[in-house]
Structure 1
Amino acid sequence: MLWQSWSAFWDMGGAAFYVWGSYGLALGMVALELMLVFQRRKDTSRRLLRWRRALGKDAGRQNGGEPEPATESER
């Protein structure tokens, strides 16, 4: 795969549309996947934070914010 010039390299023997198009599509899909992963991670972190806050509020109402004492089976 040696080319005589940069122009010949970019042209890819007439298949440049397919070659560079597939590279572009693959790069776009990887970028989309990364974006969705980071968005999902942020949403999950927010959901966990809301869940922790809700559990903390419930625990505060039930037992004054103190942890439940251990039962005999848990010791």
Structure 2
Amino acid sequence: MVFNSWHAFFNMGGYAGYVWTSFGLSLLMLVVLLLSIINNKKVLLTNIHRQQARIQRRESLSNTEEGRHVTTS
């Protein structure tokens, strides 16, 4: 499709409303998808760090409890 002017390009042969709306909605969905991925990554990393900290606390707690049960004769 060849356009003689910018006005003709933006008019899209009379279908501008459909064309630009579809481009706009597609771009909006891509942005929403990108933001969702970024948010999910942050949540996942936060949960991983919390779980690792919980495991380390349990290990250090069990190590200190084992030390208390050891008796010297």
* TM-score, structure 1 as length reference: 0.82
Identity of aligned residues (%): 33
If each structure's helix is expressed as a fraction of its own residues, which one has the higher value? 2
Deviation (angstroms), 1:4 = 1.1
1:38 partner SS: helix
Q: Which residue does 1:6 correspond to in 2?
A: 6
Asked if residue 19 in structure 1 is aligned to residue 38 in structure 2, the reply is no
| 1:1-75 mapped onto 2 (5 Å cutoff) | 1-64=1-64
Amino acid at match of 1:19: V
Deviation at 1:30, TM superposition (A): 0.3
Provide the residue aligned with 1:69 in structure 2: none
Scaled by the length of structure 2, what TM-score is found? Answer: 0.85
**Cα deviations by residue, 1:1-41 (Å, 9 ceiling, x for unpaired):** 10111100000011001001000000000000000000000
Give, in angstroms, the shift of residue 63 of structure 1.
2.1
Structure 1 gaps, min length 5: 65-75
CA distance in structure 2 between the partners assigned to 1:13 and 1:2 by the alignment: 10
Measured on the aligned residues, the alpha-carbon RMSD in Å equals 0.7
**What is the number of residues matched between the two proteins?**
64
What are structure 2's unaligned runs of at least 5 residues? Answer: 65-73
